[in-house]
Amino acid sequence: MTTIAEAAPGRVGALRAGDDGRPHSLGLLGVAGLLWLALAALILVWPDAQDVERTRALGLLAAGLGVGQLAVWAGRWFSPRLARLGRFAPWLVVLALWLAAWEAATAKLDLLPLPFFPSPQAFVEVYTDDWRRLGDSLLASLWLLVRGFAIGAAIGFAIGVALGWSKRAGYWIHPIMRVIGPLPATAWLPLAFFVFPTSGSASTFLIALATAFPVTVLTWSGVAGVPTAYYDVARTLGATQRFLILKVAIPAALPHVFVGLFMGLGSSFAVLVVAEMLGVKSGLGWYLQWAQGWAAYANMYGALLVMALMCSTLITLLFRLRDRLLAWQKGLVKW
Amino acid sequence: MVALAHKPAVWPEKLAGVSLAVRNIDHGFTLHGDYLPVLEDVSFQVEPGEFVALLGPSGCGKSTLLRLVAGLDRPRRGSLTVDGAEVTGPDPSRVVVFQDPTLYPWRTVWRNASLGLEARGLLKQQRGRVDEALALVGLDKFAKAFPHQLSGGMAQRASLARALVNDPTLLILDEPLGKLDSLTRLTMQGELTRLWQRRGFTVLMVTHDVEEALLLSNRVIVFSDRPARLRADLAVDLSYPRHRDHPELLRLRREALGLLGLAGDW
């Protein structure tokens, strides 16, 4: 008799992956491992048509990844944790095929024009030969971003709470927010670089500004939207103003605050890159600009990848923080 | 008080409650520039430990009166005194249980119940009281649950526990059972009278359910439609637990319904 699992293996396999940790795509992981080994052979055996270095390093890297996938495939019976890695198999197959095509079209057959389309080897070369400068740039960007974001988030949160809580604060701050808030932070760039003593402090200011606006607006609407019944309850139980703000208004507004933080983080990325490209003499934005000046496109792509990883890691960290603080929402909203 | 003195079975075992005097209260709201009177010359007296129900048509201003007693709003005219002292603001000895449980969704049941102690900085010394109150309403096993995991009846019990933790001398109930299903409602009615008899606090309860008012309270104060004025003050001299088929209760029910203008329909 044909079971549902046999009739629709893909679907049921995907469903089952979470249950017993032994997804159907594990077989595919073996295929992926073999494909990566084949890719390694293609890189190492086929002579380069382009004048590239690091072919050996790239080939060994592909071989190592292939062996690793085969090891996971073989070890799946011993460890459910390893078996769970099977879900990456389809991606690994596609990546191997794509890398093979890329390698063939660039280094091996020289079909795509240089320097705009560097080979995978050139990519590897960026990380093996220029990792120090790239690492410094990453640290510089991270430090600038974290500093600006933290300042902006703190100030935005404080202003948002004040706006939501106090009529007088609303009277004075609201018009300023209405006029200046929607202005993109980058519009302040020329002024900021002129007013602030260093380009670093100017960029910190701009990033803080870009972060503060969405955080302020969302915190404000969050605090203003707290049901008055919540305050009535706390007041009849003897709550002070301080308690009402810290233990009622802020926790109730927190889901909104996080929306603001996510928006603020997004716009802070944009301002970071622009500021680094236009004024700051360090960081990934500066590296991009510098690489482009030397027509070092491989370096540019390499820096873009690092930047993408940095941004997605920061977003992930913020998600983790939200999941910790707002765990109570899990049963209330679609998570 | 005098009328009830010869019926000790009706009263709580011990009297821990306060007296409440409502004198010549006028109150209203401004709606689109017009003044809308809600309460007109309302006066009554509640004795310590008494269970008084305020009955009236929906939207007549009963809940407004409760907010004044709780100290959440100040009346336009007239005076409210608790044990002779003027009510000037909210106080944890006068706790309100609202129609909606209004539990904080980000706090567990235990942390919701402990709110009053935390607000007054007493939580560290009196943690045991929270456990006691939760056990009293039968929620001790759900202390770690979040409000969205509770049924309507359980949530209302949790809000009752949150009130009881503060050892109220005047419990203010604003249609506390109004949104519960009829079965849960019946059990909660029984629990409420038992609690009141054991603790001896004074209770002021708003309801628009005639039967509920008669089953639970010593006295039923009937209000007219808005602006609310005192229509009648009915004494319910029956011992607890009461039976809803008791002839005296049925008679009072007819009387109360008549006062609410529904005699012809029943």
Which pLDDT score, from 0 to 100, does residue A7 have?
A: 39
User: Which of B151, B167, B183 is a domain's end point?
Assistant: B167
- Measured between CA atoms, the residue of chain B closest to residue A249 is B104
Q: Which amino acid is at A149?
A: F
- B180 and B70, same structural domain? yes
- For residue B92, give the nearest of A227, A238, A331 by CB distance: A238
d(CA A248, CA A251): 6
Q: Tokens 């510098």 appear where?
A: A290
In a domain, B2, yes or no: no
Overall domain count for chain B = 2
Asked if the structure places residue B173 within a domain, the reply is yes
Q: In terms of domains, do B151 and B198 share one?
A: no
Count of Cβ atoms closer than 10 Å to residue A249 Cβ: 22
Eight-state DSSP code of residue B8: G
Of the residues B121, B136, B167, which one is the last residue of a structural domain?
A: B167
Residues 6+ apart with CB under 8 A from A292: A300
Contact criterion met (CB < 8 Å) for B104 and A329: no
B177 shares its domain with B142: no
Across the range A244-267, mean pLDDT stands at 95
Reading chain B (266 residues) residue by residue, the pLDDT tens digits are 444 444 444 566 667 788 898 988 889 888 888 888 888 888 999 989 899 999 888 777 888 899 999 999 999 998 999 998 889 889 988 999 988 899 999 999 999 999 999 999 888 888 898 998 898 888 989 999 999 999 888 999 899 999 989 888 999 999 888 878 888 888 888 888 888 888 889 999 998 888 889 889 989 998 888 787 788 888 888 888 888 888 888 888 888 888 887 765 54
Lowest mean pLDDT among A62-76, A248-262, B57-71: B57-71
In the predicted model, is pLDDT for residue A43 greater than 90?
Answer: yes
Could you tell me if residue B8 is inside a domain? no
**Cβ atoms B163, B90 nearer than 8 A:** no
What 8-state DSSP symbol labels residue A107? Answer: I
For residues B89 and B189, membership in a common domain is answered with yes
Looking at the fold, whether B29 and B126 belong to one and the same domain comes out as no
Q: B98 lies in a domain?
A: no
Q: What is the DSSP string of A47-95?
A: PPSS--S-HHHHHHHHHHHHHHHHHHHHHTTT-HHHHHGGGGHHHHHHH
Domain end residue (candidates: B124, B152, B167): B167
Does residue B101 fall inside a structural domain? Answer: no
User: If you average pLDDT over residues A241-256, what whole number do you get?
Assistant: 94
Say whether A247 and B72 touch across the interface (CB within 8 A). Answer: no
Same domain, B177 and B261: yes
Contact A251 B90 (CB under 8 A): no
pTM of the full predicted structure? 0.82
Q: Which residues of B touch A233 (CB under 8 A)?
A: 96, 98, 102, 115, 162
Its domain, for residue B73, covers 13-93+168-265
pLDDT of res. B104:
95
Give the nearest partner residue to B119 out of A227, A237, A254, using CB atoms. Answer: A237
Q: Are residues B162 and B191 in the same domain?
A: no
CA gyration radius for chain A?
A: 26
| Residue B87, helix vs strand vs coil | coil
Give Cα B241 distance to the centre of its chain.
18
Q: Are residues B183 and B68 in the same domain?
A: yes
In this structure, of A91-95, A115-119, A147-151, the range with the lowest mean pLDDT score is A115-119
Long-range contacts at B254-260 (CB < 8 A, ≥ 24 apart): B256/B55, B256/B210, B256/B213, B256/B214, B256/B220, B256/B222, B256/B232, B257/B210, B259/B222, B259/B231, B259/B232, B260/B55, B260/B56, B260/B57, B260/B210, B260/B222
Q: What is the mean pLDDT of chain A?
A: 87
- Kindly list the structural domains of chain A, giving each domain's residue range(s) and its CATH number in brackets, ordered by start: 4-118 (no CATH), 131-329 (1.10.3720.10)
Q: Is residue B6 part of a domain?
A: no
| Contacts of B185 by beta carbon, 8 Å cutoff, 6+ apart | B177, B212
Q: Select the residue from A226, A237, A328 to test the B interface by mutation, using most B Cβ atoms within 10 A.
A: A237
Dihedral angle sign, alpha carbons of residues A311, A312, A317, A318 = positive
Q: Is the pLDDT of residue A247 over 90?
A: yes
Among residues B45, B24, B25, B28, which one has the least CA distance to residue B37?
Answer: B28
Q: Which tokens is A205 given?
A: 């200011």
Q: Are residues B19 and B57 in the same domain?
A: yes
pLDDT tens profile A184-232: 888 998 899 899 998 889 999 999 999 999 999 999 999 999 999 999 9
Residue A335: pLDDT band by 50, 70, 90 thresholds? low
Domain membership flag for residue B174:
yes
Residues near B119 by Cβ (< 8 Å), separated by ≥ 6?
A234, A237, A238, A239, A240, A243, A247, B92
Interface test with A, best of B114, B115, B167 (most A CBs within 10 A): B115
Q: How many CB atoms lie within 10 A of CB A111?
A: 10
Are B191 and B259 within one domain?
yes
- Which CATH number is B192's domain given? 3.40.50.300
B73 in contact with A, Cβ within 8 Å? no
Give a yes or no: residue B245 inside a domain: yes
Looking at this protein, which amino acid is placed at residue A195?
V
CB distance B98–A235 less than 8 Å?
no
Sequence-distant (≥ 6) Cβ neighbours of residue A73 within 8 angstroms: A26, A29, A30, A33
Supply B178's token pair.
């109004």
If asked whether residues B74 and B140 sit together in one domain, one would say no
Tally of CB atoms within 10 A around A254: 17
Among B72, B119, B148, the residue with its CB nearest the CB of A239 is B119
Closest CB to A243 among B95, B106, B119:
B119
- Does B88 lie in the same domain as B180? yes
Which tens digits make up the pLDDT trace of A10-30?
A: 443 343 444 444 445 668 888
